[in-house]
Amino acid sequence: MSAPRPELTREAKAARVLEVLEALFPQPPVPLDHHDPYTLLVAVLLSAQCTDERVNRITPALFALASTPEAMVQHSIEAIDAIVRPCGLSPTKAKHIHRLSELLLERHGGQVPADFAALEALPGVGHKTASVVMAQAFGVPAFPVDTHIHRLMTRWGLTDGRSVEQTERDAKALFPEDRWNDVHLQIIFYGRAYSPARGLNPEKDVLLREVGTPEERAKWGIPA
């Protein structure tokens, strides 16, 4: 029996992850359809506990109703709720969309602020949502951590999986800042295509085979 291979350092793993992701997804698109920072903000808010695909099916009707804060506040929460209901948690999401639109008008002249603190002060906008908007609408380096990223960073041994906050800190430490905005999208696309939570095919998942933790490799029958 051959000896187990030595475990790579986190830095070596991160370098290999970058190499594979760049080869597979050199220009990752933004998964949520949008026209500007406001429609992106609304789409990201709707994506909580909902797939991007479903959000993209819902937002055309919503943005036909209203695609600016000025237009959105002219409609009732109930009217917004009726459209966004398939996204789940619709009463809360509709209320947040209406109220944040009011606050954008009151505090920011109807513009989405390119500022983490100002974004996170809006209803329904947590750190992850603010990070997505800062990265994808304004090009500010950020590393939003969703379930795919948290799962894969843990699967690869790049974080200990204790919390999404720790995963974000580890990702920012391991990957170059000028790559954050692409890498977080690339990891999401990789997770969907090659490394799902269930039904994973070890033959397809090159990163699991090459940089996965010993425990994860054993779980999926990959020799040590």
Residue type, 138: F
128, 170, 182, 205: the catalytic one is 128
Residue 1's contacts (CB-CB under 8 Å, 6 or more residues apart) are none
Q: Which string of DSSP letters, residue by residue, matches 148-192?
A: HHHHHHHHTTSS-SS-HHHHHHHHHHHS-GGGHHHHHHHHHHHHH
93 labelled catalytic: no
33, 81, 115, 146: the catalytic one is 146
13 labelled catalytic: no
**Residues with active-site annotation:** 128, 146
